[in-house]
Amino acid sequence: MNETTNHDNASNVPTPTGDHRIWTPDTAKSPDSEKAVPAAVGQMKQAVQGAHETIDRIADGVAPAVQQLCETRDEWVEGARTTVRNNPLASVAAAFALGALIARITR
């Protein structure tokens, strides 16, 4: 009985109900929606194919550089092994000096 009825434009404004979803129009029944979905799928497939081609092209260009880097690393490791085998005492002294230097710097 004590209810008041407000007939102005403010009464048409929906009140918050805790449902914070944003309203979007239902395009399922629009005439363009049947054409839009296959077109979007086609564009997505085209984009994915382009990405695959780009990645393959980059990988083909990088492969020789990676191979060269691996060979260079192997040469350096083998050179270090040869030096240590030929000069074991000098290698131990150099390792000790390097360790002492690093310890002094990090203090």
> With 60 as the cut, is the pLDDT of residue 13 above it?
no
pLDDT digits (tens, 9 = 90+) for 47-95: 999 999 999 999 899 999 999 999 999 999 999 999 999 999 999 999 9
Ranges 2-6, 18-22, 72-76, 91-95: which has the least confidence: 2-6
Q: What is the mean pLDDT of the chain?
A: 80
pLDDT confidence band for 41 (50 / 70 / 90): confident
Q: How far apart are CA 74 and CA 82, in angstroms?
A: 12
Q: How far apart are CA 103 and CA 107, in angstroms?
A: 6
